[in-house]
């Protein structure tokens, strides 16, 4: 090896060591938050907030450390980075991209965004409780103004929404997302009307009973394990809002919640989080913390949770296999039910006002509304003052419902208050990716429903490991979709799956 | 305020902010360790070790940061530090002391100690399993050599043991500890012989039964709460080796272990850790992380765990109150027992080979042996080669027993392998302090046994809060003892309590 090649190797190693150490501290931050949501005693709250802020500060310093810039400057145009999808090339390219984005933001703006987000979230919680949009409006106004400044600092051509979307879905453009989601919307809105107009409505009554919580928990663990979650490298706890987190390599934890009169919420939340966890558990361990050992994007992450939730767990094959064990857990409640009846009951489609309670068909409608509105707000085509009215009009247009209050309308989600603008479309993108990947997996693997009916989930997991998990960030979301499925992102696979499934269930 | 006074105030504030931030990170380290011992999935082990090492490295850098030295140099001889026991004076004096000690040690020695300790602990675990002292000996030799270098770097007059002891029991001298422990030994050795020679031996059979673990856990929680542990600012979990830790202000956690055939081990471990936790929960919250909000020493800490364990929970009054509820938890096992019989059974004295299993009388003998031997090793009056023989001879002399193997003899404790030399005497000091404080508390508060019999523990806790917990590190261990009890440290209170209690139980 030449002296120069050796020097480059050494620089690359310094870069990776530093980044992997930073990831170790990010893991510490995740543990602090996991503990806060699951185990921390109540009196510890205020001190914990300071601890988290301290670690976040250390992390921010590390993310923008000038040594990173020096190492990357040396490596970016070097032979090591020549192949952009190789291990070296991927890590250099994406670390340079992150560093550039992070250092483009003025320190003052970062602090102002962080301060405003803390304040806006507190105000939002109070305002939602009191259905008082007016008290939340000034901070929402300020948030969107700061996000415009952020977009300006990052730079953009078409719309300030582009650089914000890019934070969550790297390389994706607003125009492309708008086109794909628009095409889906055109089809889903009438499909929902067909479904709710059908004379054949499934009987949900089996779900409207009490399901004992300790049994729910046992079943959830059993299902998680059966579909491939590794409890040796994870754990399942109870919390208020379900989530998945990664305190370190070999440590991917999930949290869910239980309610005696909502069987499906706990189980499908658990499976959703297992989907996220399987992605994290499938990343290459030695690359932990480097782009090659990191998930691609929020949308691709959501595709994993959504696929295990929707394509797998809401499917007929899944319940052929799991209904008997579910019946064993709830012998009285499920005495007179059957796999087919339970499957039909779980797959009721009902337009509703609250996103997080939505079924897999109407869910996307909630996202279209937010995506359209947040673009208009950011581009100043809509004012904060007119926001509630615009929100309600869209709910009427897409779902045929008008929120009785802003608490159940425009104030239902924490996202905007938390400064997350450009985040919502990743939920719908997750659904689209999931359907497209699943269709391809079925092409490759044969009848997946038959496999699920036999309790076989390893085939699908192995396929996801190989095609989605192991490459890490080697490809952008769009590249990955095209590489894996041979097609660019499209609304067709999702639409076709929904049409076929609900056409049959509702006899359309 | 003069310009200079303002400047000093500002420097003091910078110092405190920095030190309290460092304490926040120490809390993070404690959480990482708590999680490792209680919740962490098995596969996370290797990565967690790296995370802990990273945080430890950040902490070490902060502890020896030159800014600390500059701030302290400005403050040490200033009017702010004039009263050594004031809030300002205490913090400046003790932070300066810590900084001086930490910066006296060459970086190379610190690293060598740390490396050797990791290696020696691993080797020790293996060597103990195989009863193979020879394989452990070289690392033990090296450890003592490094501890001699550490003592030399710190400086000493009488013996290299002094600066090491000072790490755990600040301001205490080897000569004074040797004199007090020696006086105790002179009396305890024959007392134990009297006890085991007595014709009246308590009946232990009630304890030699199975106690259902879920009931043990319920009872442990009940007792912890009754004696004052605040579950709102703490929690109780299960682990392998019981411990107490403080991940932050308002967050003092305890861990214990359960075994179906060892009722007393779980309960008294829980109470022991509650004693530690009550101390931590009693420190002044606003001063968290500063000397004024920190425990005095290991010995004083141990005095709190020991007092709640020995003077309180092993007492007759305690069981008058708690026997009925214990009987409710174990109705079958305790059907034919009584408060008095249970109290007697719990207080059996039996010389044994293993320190951690020892009763409150013989426990001190185990400490005398270690204290005498580690001095001799450090001062090179005893060689590592001759260590097992010396150990066994002392066990024969003080306890009348000879270990059948080195695994049950000189290799039973991890301490020396972990580089903890000068640590053992703090266990016996804890017993001495506990007895001396308890005698004084009883003088101040009246008949404590009568209070315990009524389920009243708040009087004693309030007394400890005021006299021991709230002053933080304002006084050295020796100063605190003298200040609180009006007498210097003495073996008399412990001896007199043991004589009176066991004289009656064993009809001596």
The minimum CA-CA distance between B474 and chain A, rounded to whole Å, is 24
Contacts (Cβ under 8 Å, ≥6 apart) of B70:
none
The sheet carrying B251-256 orders its strands as B236-238, B251-256, B243-248
Residue A506 DSSP symbol: T
Task: Find the mean pLDDT for residues A66-93.
Answer: 97
Residue A252 DSSP symbol: E
A273 is catalytic: yes
Measured at the CA of A218, the angle between CA A213 and CA A219, to 5 degrees, comes to 95
Residues A11, A5: Cα–Cα separation, whole Å:
10
Task: Report the share of chain B in percent with pLDDT over 90.
Answer: 97
Res. A1: pLDDT tops 80: no
Test the A interface: residue of B32, B49, B247, B288 with most A CBs within 10 Å: B247
Give SS3 for A317.
helix
| pLDDT band, very low/low/confident/very high, at A402 (cuts 50, 70, 90) | very high
Structural contact between residues B363 and B349, judged by C-beta atoms closer than 8 angstroms: no
pLDDT at res. B364 = 96
Instruction: Give me the catalytic one of B29, B150, B169, B273.
Output: B273
Residues A30, A280: Cα–Cα separation, whole Å:
14
Residues A231, A220: Cα–Cα separation, whole Å:
12
Tell me which long-range contacts B443-446 makes (C-beta under 8 A, separation of at least 24). none
Test the B interface: residue of A17, A24, A293 with most B CBs within 10 Å: A24
Q: Which two tokens stand for residue B389?
A: 């023989």
Q: Do B251 and A50 touch (CB under 8 A)?
A: no
On chain A, the residues whose CB falls within 8 A of the CB of B234 are 41
Q: What DSSP assignment string belongs to A486-497?
A: SS---SHHHHHH
pLDDT at res. B368 = 96
Strands B243-248 and B251-256: antiparallel
The predicted-structure confidence for A446-478, as pLDDT tens digits, reads as follows: 999 999 999 999 999 999 999 999 999 999 999
Residues A303, A467: Cα–Cα separation, whole Å:
13
Residues B5, B88: Cα–Cα separation, whole Å:
13
pLDDT at res. A159 = 97
Measured at the CA of B506, the angle between CA B505 and CA B508, to 5 degrees, comes to 120
Q: Do A43 and B230 touch (CB under 8 A)?
A: yes
Residues B334, B328: Cα–Cα separation, whole Å:
9
Task: Find the mean pLDDT for residues B135-155.
Answer: 97
Task: List, as residue ranges, the binding site of A.
Answer: 272, 276, 302
Nearest to B274 by CA among B235, B240, B314: B235
Task: Count Cβ atoms below 10 Å from residue B2 Cβ, excluding itself.
Answer: 7
Of B46, B55, B251, the CB nearest to A41: B251
Q: Which two tokens stand for residue A166?
A: 């890019």
The minimum CA-CA distance between A45 and chain B, rounded to whole Å, is 8
Q: What DSSP assignment string belongs to B317-362?
A: HHHHHHHHHHHHHSTTTTTT--HHHHHHHHT-----S-GGG--TTT
pLDDT at res. B118 = 87
Task: Count Cβ atoms below 10 Å from residue A242 Cβ, excluding itself.
Answer: 20
The minimum CA-CA distance between B418 and chain A, rounded to whole Å, is 25
Q: Do B28 and A27 touch (CB under 8 A)?
A: no
Measured at the CA of B427, the angle between CA B425 and CA B430, to 5 degrees, comes to 110
| pLDDT band, very low/low/confident/very high, at A480 (cuts 50, 70, 90) | very high
Give SS3 for B253.
strand
Give SS3 for B489.
coil
Task: Count Cβ atoms below 10 Å from residue B424 Cβ, excluding itself.
Answer: 24
The predicted-structure confidence for B288-305, as pLDDT tens digits, reads as follows: 999 999 999 999 999 999
In this predicted model, which residue has the larger pLDDT, A219 or B119?
A219
Strands A236-238 and A251-256: parallel
Residue B400 DSSP symbol: S
Q: Do A43 and B288 touch (CB under 8 A)?
A: no
pLDDT at res. B1 = 75
The predicted-structure confidence for B344-376, as pLDDT tens digits, reads as follows: 999 999 999 999 999 999 999 999 999 999 999
| pLDDT band, very low/low/confident/very high, at A118 (cuts 50, 70, 90) | confident
Res. A379: pLDDT tops 90: yes
Nearest to B441 by CA among B456, B426, B471, B462: B462
Q: Do B247 and A44 touch (CB under 8 A)?
A: yes
Res. A409: pLDDT tops 90: yes
Contacts (Cβ under 8 Å, ≥6 apart) of B36:
B45, B48, B52
Residues B172, B181: Cα–Cα separation, whole Å:
13
Residues B375, B364: Cα–Cα separation, whole Å:
17
Strands B251-256 and B236-238: parallel
Task: Find the mean pLDDT for residues B32-49.
Answer: 94
On chain B, the residues whose CB falls within 8 A of the CB of A21 are 54
Res. B164: pLDDT tops 80: yes
Q: Which two tokens stand for residue A240?
A: 């208020």
Of A32, A41, A47, the CB nearest to B231: A41
Nearest to A355 by CA among A402, A305, A409: A409
Res. B194: pLDDT tops 90: yes
Residue A81 DSSP symbol: G
pLDDT at res. B248 = 97
Residues A320, B302: Cα–Cα separation, whole Å:
60
Of B41, B50, B250, the CB nearest to A231: B41
Task: Count Cβ atoms below 10 Å from residue B3 Cβ, excluding itself.
Answer: 7
The sheet carrying A236-238 orders its strands as A236-238, A251-256, A243-248
Q: Do A234 and B41 touch (CB under 8 A)?
A: yes
The minimum CA-CA distance between A278 and chain B, rounded to whole Å, is 15
Give the CA radius of gyration of chain A. Answer: 23
| pLDDT band, very low/low/confident/very high, at B205 (cuts 50, 70, 90) | very high
- Cα-Cα-Cα-Cα torsion B446, B432, B90, B470, nearest 10 degrees, comes to -30
Residues A213, A236: Cα–Cα separation, whole Å:
14
Residues A237, A217: Cα–Cα separation, whole Å:
10
Task: Find the mean pLDDT for residues A397-424.
Answer: 96
| pLDDT band, very low/low/confident/very high, at A141 (cuts 50, 70, 90) | very high
Q: Which two tokens stand for residue A213?
A: 């919580």
Find the residue in A nearest to B31 (Cα).
A32
Task: Find the mean pLDDT for residues B301-313.
Answer: 98
Tell me which long-range contacts A450-456 makes (C-beta under 8 A, separation of at least 24). A450/A317, A451/A317, A452/A312, A452/A315, A452/A317, A452/A318, A452/A320, A452/A321, A453/A316, A453/A317, A453/A318, A453/A320, A453/A321, A454/A321, A455/A226, A455/A321
Res. B260: pLDDT tops 90: yes
Test the B interface: residue of A21, A23, A41 with most B CBs within 10 Å: A41
Residues A443, A440: Cα–Cα separation, whole Å:
5
Q: Do B233 and A41 touch (CB under 8 A)?
A: yes
Residues B232, B452: Cα–Cα separation, whole Å:
23
On chain A, the residues whose CB falls within 8 A of the CB of B41 are 231-235, 250-251, 253
Of A31, A32, A41, the CB nearest to B234: A41
The predicted-structure confidence for A275-307, as pLDDT tens digits, reads as follows: 999 999 999 999 999 999 999 999 999 999 999
Nearest to B247 by CA among A61, A43, A235, A27: A43
Give SS3 for A422.
coil
> What's the burial of B191, exposed, middle or buried (CB within 10 Å: 0-12/13-18/19+)?
buried
* Residue contacts between A and B (CB atoms, under 8 Å): 104
The predicted-structure confidence for B436-484, as pLDDT tens digits, reads as follows: 999 999 999 999 999 999 999 999 999 999 999 999 999 999 999 999 9
The minimum CA-CA distance between A262 and chain B, rounded to whole Å, is 28
Task: List, as residue ranges, the binding site of B for Zn(2+).
Answer: 272, 276, 302
Residues B144, A309: Cα–Cα separation, whole Å:
59
Task: Find the mean pLDDT for residues B371-383.
Answer: 98
Instruction: Give me the catalytic one of A169, A172, A273, A374.
Output: A273
Q: Do B250 and A45 touch (CB under 8 A)?
A: yes
Task: List, as residue ranges, the binding site of A for Zn(2+).
Answer: 272, 276, 302
Of A31, A40, A58, the CB nearest to B32: A31
Structural contact between residues B284 and B292, judged by C-beta atoms closer than 8 angstroms: yes
């Amino acid at each position: 090896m030449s002296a120069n090649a050796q020097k480059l190797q050494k620089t690359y190693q310094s870069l990776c060591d530093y980044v992997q150490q930073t990831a170790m501290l990010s893991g510490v931050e995740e543990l602090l938050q996991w503990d806060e949501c699951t185990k921390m005693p109540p009196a510890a709250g205020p001190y914990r907030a300071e601890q988290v802020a301290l670690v976040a500060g250390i992390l921010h310093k590390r993310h923008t450390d000038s040594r990173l810039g020096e190492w990357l400057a040396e490596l970016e145009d070097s032979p090591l980075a020549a192949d952009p999808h190789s291990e070296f090339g991927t890590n250099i390219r994406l670390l340079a991209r992150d560093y550039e984005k992070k250092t483009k933001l003025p320190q003052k703006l970062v602090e102002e965004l962080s301060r405003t987000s803390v304040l806006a979230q507190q105000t939002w919680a109070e305002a939602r409780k009191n259905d008082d949009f007016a008290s939340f409006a000034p901070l929402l106004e300020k948030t969107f103004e700061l996000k415009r400044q952020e977009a300006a600092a990052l730079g953009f051509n078409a719309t300030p929404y582009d650089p914000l979307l890019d934070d969550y879905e790297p390389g994706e453009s607003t125009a492309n997302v708008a086109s794909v989601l628009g095409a889906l919307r055109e089809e889903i809105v009438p499909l929902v009307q067909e479904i709710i107009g059908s004379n054949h409505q499934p009987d949900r009554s089996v779900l409207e009973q009490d399901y004992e919580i300790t049994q729910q928990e046992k079943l959830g663990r059993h299902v998680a394990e059966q579909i491939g979650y590794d409890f040796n490298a994870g754990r399942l706890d109870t919390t208020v809002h379900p989530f998945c987190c990664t305190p370190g390599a070999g440590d991917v934890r999930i949290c869910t919640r239980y309610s005696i009169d909502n069987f499906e919420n706990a189980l499908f939340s658990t499976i959703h989080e297992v989907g996220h966890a399987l992605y994290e558990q499938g990343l290459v361990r030695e690359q932990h913390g480097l782009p090659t050992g990191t998930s691609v994007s929020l949308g691709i992450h959501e595709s994993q949770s959504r696929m295990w939730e929707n394509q797998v767990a809401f499917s007929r094959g899944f319940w052929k296999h799991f209904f008997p064990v579910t019946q064993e857990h709830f012998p009285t409640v499920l005495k007179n039910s059957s796999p087919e009846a339970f499957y039909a009951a779980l797959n009721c489609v009902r337009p509703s006002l609250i996103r997080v309670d939505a079924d897999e068909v109407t869910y996307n409608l909630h996202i279209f509304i937010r995506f359209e509105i947040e673009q208009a707000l950011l581009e100043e085509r809509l004012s904060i003052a007119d926001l509630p009215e615009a929100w309600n009009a869209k709910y009427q247009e897409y779902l045929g419902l008008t929120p009785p209050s802003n608490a159940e309308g425009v104030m239902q989600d924490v996202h905007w208050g938390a400064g997350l603008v450009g985040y919502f479309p990743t939920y719908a993108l997750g659904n689209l990716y999931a359907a497209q990947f699943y269709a391809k997996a079925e092409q490759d693997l044969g009848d997946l429903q038959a496999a699920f009916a036999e309790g076989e989930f390893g085939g699908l997991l192995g396929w996801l490991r190989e095609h989605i998990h192991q490459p890490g960030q080697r490809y952008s979301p769009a590249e990955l979709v095209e590489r894996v499925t041979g097609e660019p992102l499209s609304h067709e696979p999702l639409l076709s799956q929904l049409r076929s499934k609900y056409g049959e269930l509702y006899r359309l």
